[in-house]
Chains A and B, each alone.
Chain A
Amino acid sequence: MADTFTVHLKIWRQDGPEQPGKLVDYTLDKVNEHMSFLEMLDVLNEEIVAEGKEEPIEFDYDCREGICGSCNLVINGRAHGPKDMTCTCQLHMRNFSDGDTIVIEPFRAKAFPVIKDLVVDRSAFDRIIEAGGYVSVKTGSAPDANSIPIDKTVADTAFDYATCIGCGACVAACPNSSASLFTGAKLAHLNRLPQGEPERKKRTVAMVEQMEEEGFGDCSNYAECEAVCPKGISISAIAEMRRNYVKATLAGTEA
């Protein structure tokens, strides 16, 4: 193939949660510019398996379509790599050049402990959702569409926040390991819709508390989270979270 080139990889290898890890050097010379970043790792893993000296590199993925939020790599110091609004799985090797050295590390945060190699446990996000990321709807048959009138701009903005796929890049890129953008996006989505209104205050307080309990750091308004977010979620979500939190706690009433 005409377009193949070589990259030098420094990949974080760690046998288990308690074992120390380190960067290991690999050189891959069959890289095609049309490969996705994960396909490049697949090819490397095939080589590793064929060689049989060490275990293949563990990394997370599911849909490989940029919508599931499973893939999570820090590539050359940036969560999801160099391209804007792109998940690791949608990043293509055409963004790299022959002879490049690429450092690949897991998302790092105390709340995201490494399980193995590049795979981290992001269940802290699930627990933030469990704390209040739901709405009290009747669980009968599906309700009629448009039975609750919602202004189009409200629905559109809620959808913008709902596009958060919970990948955790915001945490990975934040110097403080804050989960404010994730939590803020979930709150901004649910709090502005009539279906989410009944639990608005309770939800805001519960999710903010859970975020802190999981060991995520404070937000210092670096806005790096917005820059790395593959869905381009605005830090307005964080401002809105603060506004709702102040309203909820100053009001001091239940629910």
Chain B
Amino acid sequence: MPSFLDALKSQVGRKILTGVTGVGLIIFIIFHLATNLQVFGDVHAFNEAAHALESMGWLLYVLEAGLAIAFLLHAYVGISIWWNRRKARPEGYEKYQSKGGSSHMSWASRSMIFTGIVLLVFLVIHIDTFKFGATEMVTLPGGEEARDLKGLMLSTFQQPLYAFGYTAVMILLGFHLGHGFWSAFTSLTMKHNKYSALIYTVGVIFAVLMAVGFLFIPLYIYFGEGCEAALILCQ
């Protein structure tokens, strides 16, 4: 029998790893979107939510480390699968088309490596912009001093490059999730049954909801004609 590490490195192990990390990342983005949507809540809600996260101390570091490992493993395995694919068929077809029917071949499934790499590059820029971005300090109703991340968000997305760049990447995130959500179930050994089609549909709906949820914020800010129209966003 192979050791645990060798089993993880096998084709089956790599798939399980992709699925497990993928599910972790899906849970993360659900929380991320829920936090983002706080900008539409009370004036201080978003900054309070961000401040609560930053005040978690060591637990935050544990979560961040877990998240970093999940991202890196997911990306590493994905890239290695793509690399193996190139080796496994050195000479391609002159003509190739999907048979349709029960196939899940789509732009989403065939572009996982492209959408994945875009998301990886995006992640670096995103963390640099928001996690390490310079902000003013605000005083929350509770009296604590906190980073004005909401202000940073508003000023960032008034720049067209950020507003439309983020929107484009979030559409790609939607495609990545469109295949990824369903794929995770199969990777984690769920057999085809009467629920398979339902899970695929739920995955697509989930992907659209996530993409629309995330891209709504930059577009709303950009097209909000400044603070007059986007009153609820402005302090």
Residues from chain A with a CB closer than 8 A to the CB of B97 are: 76-78
A117 close to B (CB within 8 Å) = no
Residues from chain A with a CB closer than 8 A to the CB of B110 are: 175, 222
A110 close to B (CB within 8 Å) = yes
CB distance from A43 to the nearest CB of B (A): 23
Is the pair B10, A110 in contact by a Cβ cutoff of 8 Å? no
Is the pair B85, A23 in contact by a Cβ cutoff of 8 Å? no
A162 close to B (CB within 8 Å) = no
CB distance from B39 to the nearest CB of A (A): 36
A252 close to B (CB within 8 Å) = yes
Is the pair A242, B15 in contact by a Cβ cutoff of 8 Å? yes
Residues from chain A with a CB closer than 8 A to the CB of B101 are: 84, 227
> Which B residues from 91 to 138 make CB contacts under 8 A with A?
91-105, 109-110, 112
Is the pair A217, B88 in contact by a Cβ cutoff of 8 Å? yes
Residues from chain A with a CB closer than 8 A to the CB of B2 are: 205, 209, 249
Bound form: Cα–Cα A209–B12 in Å: 10
Bound form: Cα–Cα A71–B209 in Å: 45
Bound form: Cα–Cα A223–B93 in Å: 19
Residues from chain B with a CB closer than 8 A to the CB of A103 are: 94-95
A186 close to B (CB within 8 Å) = no
Is the pair B99, A110 in contact by a Cβ cutoff of 8 Å? no
Residues from chain A with a CB closer than 8 A to the CB of B89 are: 108-110, 176-177, 217
B186 close to A (CB within 8 Å) = yes
Overall SS of chain B's interface: loop
CB distance from B155 to the nearest CB of A (A): 40
B183 close to A (CB within 8 Å) = yes
C-beta contact mask, B173-205 vs A, less than 8 Å → 1, else 0?
Answer: 000000100110011111111000000000000
Looking at A30-38, A143-151, A230-238, the stretch in contact with chain B turns out to be A230-238
CB distance from B73 to the nearest CB of A (A): 15
Is the pair B95, A105 in contact by a Cβ cutoff of 8 Å? yes
Number of A-B contacts (CB under 8 A): 156
Bound form: Cα–Cα A76–B99 in Å: 10
B interface residues, tally (CB under 8 Å): 47
Is the pair B102, A177 in contact by a Cβ cutoff of 8 Å? no
Bound form: Cα–Cα A74–B89 in Å: 14
B62 close to A (CB within 8 Å) = no
C-beta contact mask, A237-255 vs B, less than 8 Å → 1, else 0?
Answer: 0111111011011111110
B141 close to A (CB within 8 Å) = no
Bound form: Cα–Cα A222–B109 in Å: 7
A10 close to B (CB within 8 Å) = yes
Is the pair B183, A221 in contact by a Cβ cutoff of 8 Å? yes
A118 close to B (CB within 8 Å) = no
Residues from chain A with a CB closer than 8 A to the CB of B192 are: 234-236, 239
B171 close to A (CB within 8 Å) = no
Residues from chain A with a CB closer than 8 A to the CB of B99 are: 78-79, 82, 84, 173, 224, 227-228
Bound form: Cα–Cα A217–B82 in Å: 9
Is the pair A212, B10 in contact by a Cβ cutoff of 8 Å? yes
Closest B residue to A255 using CB positions: B1
CB distance from A127 to the nearest CB of B (A): 16
B227 close to A (CB within 8 Å) = no
Is the pair B88, A76 in contact by a Cβ cutoff of 8 Å? no
Residues from chain A with a CB closer than 8 A to the CB of B143 are: none
Which of B14, B179, B187: most chain A CB closer than 10 A?
Answer: B187
Bound form: Cα–Cα A78–B10 in Å: 29
Bound form: Cα–Cα A241–B190 in Å: 11
CB distance from A110 to the nearest CB of B (A): 5
| Given A217-B89, A254-B1, A226 contacting B15 (CB threshold 8 A) | no
B16 close to A (CB within 8 Å) = yes
Residues from chain B with a CB closer than 8 A to the CB of A84 are: 99, 101
Bound form: Cα–Cα A248–B10 in Å: 13
Report, nearest first, the 6 A-B pairs whose CB atoms are least far apart: A217-B88, A177-B88, A249-B7, A227-B103, A77-B97, A236-B191
Q: A211-B11, A217-B84, A219-B15 are in contact. List 17 more A-B contacts (CB 8 A).
A: A78-B99, A79-B99, A84-B99, A108-B89, A108-B92, A176-B84, A177-B88, A209-B2, A221-B104, A221-B187, A224-B99, A224-B104, A239-B189, A241-B12, A242-B16, A246-B189, A252-B1
Give the interface of B toward A (CB within 8 A).
Answer: 1-2, 4, 7, 10-16, 81, 84-85, 87-105, 109-110, 112, 179, 182-183, 186-193
- Please list 30 pairs of residues, one from A and one from B, whose beta carbons are closer than 8 Å in the complex, sorted by A's number: A12-B94, A77-B95, A77-B96, A77-B97, A78-B97, A78-B98, A78-B99, A108-B92, A110-B87, A111-B88, A173-B99, A176-B81, A209-B10, A211-B11, A215-B87, A216-B88, A217-B81, A218-B11, A218-B81, A220-B85, A222-B105, A224-B103, A227-B98, A227-B101, A228-B99, A239-B190, A242-B12, A245-B7, A245-B12, A249-B2
